[in-house]
Structure 1
Amino acid sequence: MNFLVLLLVLWVEKFSSWRSAVQQDGPWLRLLAKVERNKKQLASPWLTLVGMLALPLVILALVLAVLSTVAYGWLALPVHLLVVVYSLGRGDLWVALGPFRDSWRRSDSESAYLVARRDLGIDAQTPEALLSDVQQYLVWQAYQSFFAVIFWYALLGPLVALAYRLLALIEEHSQQPALQVRASQLRHAFDWLPARLLCVSFGLVGNFVGVSRALLHELLSWDISAARLVTNVARAASEVTAPVLGEAGVNSLDELWQLLVRCAILWYAIFALWTLFL
C-alpha cells in the first residue's frame, strides 16, 4: 500500500489543488503559540517538544489501528495519503523561483536581489553570493519538502513522516530559542540518513567522480548540516560552474533541478523494486 500512496502523492502534487487544501498549519501553529505562552512548560524544552509531537502522533496511531482492522486495512489508505501530502513542503518550489530566474536571465541583479528577498527570504551582499544562496535554497527545499518525507514514509510509515514535518514547522515558527534549538537538533538527527542517501543518488544520476570527491570526507560527519551537504554534493554532481549573471546562471539552476528530478525517478524505481521483492 505504501508504494500506491507514493504514486498518488505525485498525482496530488502535480495534477490537483488538494495539496494547498490539506496543508493547513493553523491548528498546529496555534498549539505552538499556546505552549510558548506557558512559561512552566518551556522550563523543560525537551519534554515540551516530545509532548507536542506525541499528541498528534498518538491520535494518528489510534486512527490507523482502528482502520487497519476494517476492510483489510484499505480504509487506512486515504489517511496515509492525507498525512503524506500534509507532510510535504509548503508551496511550489519551481514556481517560487520563477521571478528570480527571469530577473537573473536579464542580468538585472538589483531586481533579482529584491525578488529573492521577497519570495525566498534570501539576503545576499553580492550577485555571486546571491546565486549561490539560491542554488542552496533550491536543493535544500527539494530535499526537505520531498525526499526526506517520502524516505521516512517508505521506511517507517506515516507517523515518522508527520513527525518530520511538525518538527520543521516548530523550527521555522517557534518564537522561543530553547524550543527552536531542540527542534533543530532533533531534525538534524532525522536528516542524517536520508541526506546521505540522496547524495549517493546524486552520484548515480550525475557526475560520480565529482560526488565521490565532495562526499568522501563528509559522509559520516555528524557536524555538517544537511543543507550544506546536499548542496555541495549536488553542485559536484551537476558540475555547476562559478556563479555568473545571465543565462549561464539560470542554466545552473536548471541543471540542479534536472538532477533532482532524476533522483526522484531513481528513488521511485527503488521503492517499486522494494515493494515487488520484499
Structure 2
Amino acid sequence: MNIEHLKLFVRLAVTHNISQAGQELGLSPAVASAHISKLEEGLGVRLLHRTTRKVSLTQEGEAFLPYAEEVLASVEMARASVGAGSMAPRGTLRVTAPASFGRMHLVPSLKAFLAHYPHLSLDLRLSDSIVDLVEGGFDIAIRNAELKDSSLIARKLAPDQRIICASPEYLKHYGEPRSPQDLLNHQCINLLGLETWVFATASGPASIKTHGQLRTDNGEAMRDACVSGLGIAISSTWSVYQHMARGELVQVLPNNPLIAHTAIWAMYSSARQLAPKVRAFIDFYAEYFGEEPYWDKALPGA
C-alpha cells in the first residue's frame, strides 16, 4: 500500500475534489486520479463516488478513512523517532481558530512559527463557529470554551482572564457600579446566550441577569460598542488589553472577579497519535503565550 496514495485519499475526504487534493500534494489531476485508481485496485473496493464536479466517499471509503489517517500518523511518528527525533516536522498543518483571537494573536506570530519550522505549511481557518475538528479535516482547533467532546484531547495554551469593563465616557455619564447588584441599573452589552454574569463576593457566588439595548454574536463588536460608550461588557483581557492601555476602557468591579472556567485550548483528536507537526504547534504556542501571556502583562497595574 503506497503512503502517497493514502495521503491523497485523506485529502480527498476533506476537499471532495481530485484536482484540489492533487494540487495540494503537487500532483496533476490525471496523476491524482491514477493514484486513487491504484489504491482501489489494491484494496479490491471502490472508495469514491466520482462525478464531473466532485467526489464523495463510498461506504467502504468512510470505513477505510480512519485507518488511513492512523497509518499516516504512525508513519509520521516513526519518521520523527529516527535519530532521536531529529526529523523536522513537515507537511501541511490545518488549524481552525476563533476569528478575533486568530487575527490578534496567531497571525502576528506566524512569521516566527513558520521560520522555526521551514518544512511546514499552514492552512489557517478563522471562524467564530464551532467547527467539527474531525469532520472538517483539521489537525488542531483553538478554542476558549469548555471541552465537551470526550473524543478530543485539550492542551492549555494560555489563561483566558475575563473582566468587566466600560469606557470612561459611559462611567462619567451613568456612574460606576459598586457591587454586582448595581449592574441591574446599567446598560450591559451581551454576547448571545451569556446574559447571566457570575461574580465572586464575600457571601459567595452572585448571579446577575444583565440586560441592555444591545446584544451581539461577535466579541469584537461587543468590545467596540463598549469603547463607544454603549454600556458595560464582559471581555477577555486578550481582546481589550490594548484599549485599556490607551485608556479607552477601564475595569469595573475589580474587587468582585468573574467566576469563569476559561482558557485558550489547543484541541486534537484522541483517535490519532500526536503527529510531530501538531506537537510543534502546541509546544511553540504554549511557550509563546506562557503562564502569564503578554496581554496580561500589558494591563494597567500589572
TM normalised by structure 2 equals: 0.26
In terms of fraction of residues, the more helix-rich structure is 1
Q: Which structure has the larger Rg over C-alpha atoms? A: 2
In terms of fraction of residues, the more strand-rich structure is 2
TM normalised by structure 1 equals: 0.28
